[in-house]
Amino acid sequence: MELARTQCWLCGRNGSADPLDMHHIFGGAYKAKSEKYGLLVPLCHETCHIFGENAVHHNAETMRELRRWGQEKVMREQGWSTEQFIQVFGKNYLD
C-alpha cells in the first residue's frame, strides 16, 4: 500500500483539522536510513503522532505495527530477506 503524503497513515485523515507530521519509522541511529529507504509516514500531529491514545509516541502496539509495516515495505521494495533487513536496521520486527 502506497500512501499519499496528504493522508495520515494511522487514521486516514487529510491533516485539515490536525496538521500532518512526517514520522521516521525507524528513528535514532536509523533515522537517516529511514530517509534513504523512504520509511517516513504522515501522521496527524496531535492525535496520531504525539498525544492521542493510539499515537505512535504514546502507544507501543501502534509503534510495533508501524515498524512491522515498514519492515515489510522495505523488504518488498529492496528484495531483502529478514537477515538482510536486520543487517541494515538491527532488529527483526516481524516476530
State which amino acid sits at residue 82: T
Is pLDDT of 3 > 70? no
User: b/e per residue, 18-45, with b = 16+ CB within 10 A?
Assistant: bebbebbbbeeebeebbeebebbbbbbb
pLDDT of residue 71: 98
The predicted model gives 18-36 an average pLDDT of 96
Question: Rounded to whole angstroms, how far apart are CA atoms 7 and 85?
Answer: 27
pLDDT of residue 1: 42
The predicted model gives 78-82 an average pLDDT of 98
Q: Which of 1-5, 19-23, 27-31, 58-62 has the lowest mean pLDDT?
A: 1-5
